[in-house]
Amino acid sequence: MPELSRRRALTATAALATAAGAGALVQTLNAPAASASGQSRHPEHSGHEEHGRHSPAPFDEVYKGRRIQGRPASGGAHQHHGGGYAVFVDDVELHVMPNADGTWISVVSHYDPVPTPRAAARAAVDELQGAALLPFPAN
């Protein structure tokens, strides 16, 4: 049996690293195809989904004397930003956006992420301190 030289050891290591990298690449490339075909890795997340996110439940409540509502969006200019979800404070739309980590931000409390759109609406009411929410201009 030939003696293992440094050159053969490095060649074998490079071949194994290349094979491992190619396998990981194939697995990564197959993952989006599986999700596009409707196969979800998380079967418990069925229902309203957009961009792989689970849509929060609708709500309608009075918080500190202000009516806050949230529901899946039926369309409109901001649907692509709000993840398909609309939030209203006293019947005026509060512009909300989901973050990549699952938290939500609003135009009123942009630098304070919260876990849900309901929490974003409550944070906006707290921040407004009784002032009226003005409509956010669409571009």
d(CA 70, CA 74): 12
Closest CA to 47 of 12, 72, 20, 66: 72
47 pLDDT tier (thresholds 50, 70, 90): very low
Confidence of residue 39 (pLDDT cuts 50, 70, 90): very low
Give me the half-sphere count of Cα atoms (radius 13 Å) on the Cβ side of residue 26: 6
Residue 127, pLDDT score? 94
Confidence of residue 6 (pLDDT cuts 50, 70, 90): confident
| Cα–Cα distance for residue pair 85/68, rounded to 1 Å | 13
Q: What is the mean pLDDT of the chain?
A: 77
CB 94 within 8 A of CB 121: yes
pLDDT per position as a tens digit, 64-104: 999 999 999 876 544 455 568 999 999 999 999 999 999 99
